[in-house]
Chains A and B, each alone.
Chain A
């Protein structure tokens, strides 16, 4: 049972490039989330999904897009990378209400 798997672990992007951060969970959880964590700061919610085909904005959605075509996958898309998007990104899931299971994170640097 792998839990929540995020790829890649590290990435350096140039300004204006695009990329997709992958997130997969094998626990059949309906709820999935994307957070960003800036240095020395807490976690801010970017987008979340309560089930396949349903997504909604969190606190800081600008510059990002998501999709949820299956229960297992919840990719996060950056279309035009900006230095302000340099951060560590965490994906999480939970079955309904309760403790979240987090992935190990993707460290993204935009230069």
Chain B
């Protein structure tokens, strides 16, 4: 079955700096890769996703890149703000199968 590894587990950055979170997956048939943001006491919220026929996708300050050959994908947050502080989860899915989540990255943005 699919296995998703996520690094780092914690990440601290200064406000205005960039943050990068990386994930690798094991099943080459996986074709959908979402990223979720979870704020304290809340459920995960989808922030960006990418499908396997695309190499990069941007939405304002966040972007996701996908390298199918290496089976890894990354979340990039530029110009970080204190409100970006949260736990971020990557996930991988194959067709209509089940999402498999990474173990999460706790991002802290210091003013």
Contacts and interface: CB of A to CB of B under 8 A. Distances in A.
Interface of A: 4, 31, 33, 41-43, 45, 48, 50, 58, 90, 92, 96-105
B62 to A, nearest CB: 14
Interface stretch (B14-22, B66-74, B77-85, B93-101): B93-101
B43 A45 contact: no
A33 B103 contact: no
12 contacts: A41-B103, A41-B104, A42-B102, A42-B104, A43-B101, A50-B96, A97-B93, A98-B32, A99-B34, A102-B43, A102-B45, A105-B42
A85 B23 CA distance: 28
A100 B99 contact: yes
B46 A58 contact: no
Contacts of B89: 42-43
Given A41-B103, A97-B93, A104-B43, 5 more contacts: A33-B98, A90-B44, A97-B96, A99-B46, A105-B43
* SS of B interface (majority): loop
Interface residues of B, number: 21
B69 to A, nearest CB: 22
Contact of B44 (A45, A48, A58, A102): A102
A103 B43 contact: yes
Interface of B: 32, 34, 36, 41-46, 49, 89, 93, 95-99, 101-104
A4 B84 CA distance: 24
A32 to B, nearest CB: 11
Contacts of A43: 44, 89, 101
Contacts of A4: 43
A105 B39 CA distance: 12
Nearest to A94: B99
Nearest to B103: A42
A87 B56 CA distance: 35
A100 B96 contact: no
A92 B38 CA distance: 14
Nearest to B49: A99
A100 B104 CA distance: 16
